Amino acid sequence: MHVVFTSEGGIAHFPGLSAPVTIESDKLSDADAAELERLVGAARFFDLPSALGVPPRGAADYHRYTVTIDSGTCRHTVQLAEPIADATIQRLVAFLRAQAKAFRKQ
């Protein structure tokens, strides 16, 4: 699975940290790759609309995310805005944020 994750906005927004991060499931640990697969399935990612959520008016400090996932048979991009109401999508975004943070430290 090939994932491109972009995060923008937030209280302490740093433009350099908004660069897209590519996450390849075959480069993750077996446990993390399985968790990514589980989270994508639980969120029904490939069934989501191309945009989810609208930040509340005046919510300049909220994050916005763009997630593109290519499973080899399907490719889909979703733009998300906080607050994210669906808990399964929240867990997927939290996992991707953690993976992106780890990638940037390398």
Q: Give alpha helix (H) positions in 1-106.
A: 30-42, 87-105
Kindly report the pTM of this predicted structure.
0.88
Q: What's the Cα-to-Cα distance from 30 to each of 19, 55, 70, 93, rounded to whole Å?
A: 26, 35, 18, 19
Q: Is the pLDDT of residue 86 over 80?
A: yes
What is residue 39's predicted lDDT score, i.e. its pLDDT?
Answer: 98
Q: What is the DSSP letter of 12?
A: T
Return the percentage of the chain with pLDDT > 90, whole number. 68
Q: Where along the chain do its domains lie?
A: 2-105
pLDDT band at 69 (very low <50, low <70, confident <90, very high): very high
Name the residue type at position 21.
Answer: V
pLDDT digit string, tens, across residues 3-53: 999 998 765 555 555 689 999 999 999 999 999 999 999 999 999 999 998
Please name the helix (run of DSSP H) or strand (run of DSSP E) that holds residue 64, with its range, or none. Answer: strand 63-70
Q: Is the pLDDT of residue 96 over 60?
A: yes
* Residue whose C-alpha is closest to residue 88's, from 33, 28, 47: 47
